[in-house]
A and B are shown apart, each in its own frame.
Chain A
Amino acid sequence: MATITAPAARRALPGLLKSRPAAKLLTLAVAAVILVPLLDSRWGSGHWPHALTVSLTGPLGDASDWVMNNRDSHPLFLYFFGHISNAVVLCVRGVYLALLAMGWVGVTALGALVAWRVAGVRLAAGTAVAFLACGALGMWLPTMQTLALMVAAVLASVAVGVLLGLAAGLSDRLDRALRPVLDTMQVLPAFAYLLPVVLVFGIGVPAAVLATVVYAAPPMARLTALGLRGADPEVLEAVRSLGATPRQRLLTARIPLARKELLLGLNQTIMMALSMAVIASVIGAGGLGDRVYQALASVDVGAALAAGIPIVLLAIVLDRVTGAAGRAADNTGESRRTVWLLALAGTAVAAVAARLLGRAEWPAGATLNIAEPVNHAVNWMTAHLYSGVPVIGGTADWAAHFTTWMLDPLRDGLRALPWWSVLLIVAALAWLIGTWRTALTATLAMAAIGVLGVWDSSLDTLSQVLAAVAVTLVLGIATGIAAARSDRVDRMLRPVLDVFQTMPQFVYLIPVVALFGVGRAPAVVAAVVYALPAVVRITAQGLRQVDPAALESARSLGATGRQQLWQVQLPLARRSLLLAVNQGVVLVLAVVIIGGLVGAGALGYDVAFGLAQGDLATGLVAGAAIVCLGLMLDRVTQPTGRAKKGA
Chain B
Amino acid sequence: MTLTVPTRKPPTSAEGSDAPVFAVDGLWKVFGPKPGRVPADPALAALSPAELRAETGCTAAVRDVSFEVRKGEVFVVMGLSGSGKSTLVRCLTRLIEPTAGTIAIDGEDVRAMDRGRLRELRRHRAAMVFQHFGLLPHRTVLDNVAYGLEIQGMGRAERREKAAEVVAKVGLAGMEKRRPGQLSGGQRQRVGLARALAVDPEVLLFDEPFSALDPLIRRDMQDEVARLHSEEGRTMVFITHDLTEALKLGDRIALMRDGRVVQLGTPEEIVNSPADDYVREFVRDVPREQVVTCRTAMRPASLEEAGSGPAVRPEAPVAEAIEAVARAGEPARVMDHGTCMGVVDSDALLNVVAGTGTAAPAEREAEPTLVSAAPRPKAV
Binding site for B on A (CB under 8 A): 232, 234-235, 237-245, 248, 252-253, 256-257, 259, 329-330, 332
Contacts and interface: CB of A to CB of B under 8 A. Distances in A.
Interface in B48-92: 90
Q: Is the interface of A mostly helix, strand, loop or mixed?
A: helix
Specify which of A235, A245, A257, A332 lies most central, judged by the most chain B CB atoms within 10 Å of its CB: A235
B119 A245 contact: yes
B134 interface: yes
B79 to A, nearest CB: 20
Given A237-B95, A238-B128, A252-B147, A243 B134 contact: no
B193 to A, nearest CB: 12
Contact of B136 (A240, A241, A253, A329): A253
Contacts of A248: 151
B130 A243 contact: no
Given A237-B95, A252-B147, A252-B150, A242 B123 contact: yes
Contact of A235 (B118, B124, B135): B135
Given A232-B134, A235-B134, A256-B136, A241 B150 contact: no
Specify which of B138, B150, B152 lies most central, judged by the most chain A CB atoms within 10 Å of its CB: B138
Nearest to B138: A256
Contact of B122 (A242, A259, A329, A330): A242
Given A243-B119, A245-B119, A238 B151 contact: no
A242 B192 CA distance: 12
Given A234-B134, A237-B134, A238-B134, A243 B147 contact: no
Given A253-B136, A256-B138, A330-B138, A241 B179 contact: no
B148 interface: yes
Interface of B: 90, 93, 95, 118-124, 127-128, 130-139, 147-148, 150-152, 179, 181, 192, 195, 199, 205
A253 B119 CA distance: 17
A4 to B, nearest CB: 18
B51 to A, nearest CB: 25
B95 A243 contact: no
Contacts of B147: 239, 242, 252
B138 A241 contact: no
B150 A234 contact: no
Contacts of B131: 234
Contacts of B123: 242-243
B341 to A, nearest CB: 45
Contacts of B127: 241-242
19 contacts: A234-B133, A235-B137, A237-B95, A237-B130, A238-B128, A240-B122, A241-B95, A242-B127, A243-B118, A243-B119, A243-B121, A243-B124, A243-B152, A244-B151, A248-B151, A259-B138, A330-B137, A330-B181, A332-B138
Nearest to B199: A242
A241 B135 contact: no
B204 to A, nearest CB: 11
Contacts of A241: 93, 95, 122, 127-128, 130, 205
Nearest to B181: A330
Nearest to B93: A241
Given A243-B122, A248-B151, A235 B179 contact: no
B149 to A, nearest CB: 9
A330 B179 contact: yes
Contacts of A238: 128, 130, 133-135, 192, 195
A72 B131 CA distance: 65
Nearest to B122: A243
A330 B205 CA distance: 30
B136 A257 contact: yes
Given A237-B95, A237-B130, A245-B119, A257 B152 contact: no
A54 to B, nearest CB: 46
The 7 closest A-B pairs by CB, nearest first: A238-B134, A243-B122, A243-B123, A241-B128, A242-B148, A243-B119, A234-B134
Nearest to B115: A245
Contacts of A332: 138
Contacts of B120: 243
Contacts of B151: 239, 242-244, 248, 252
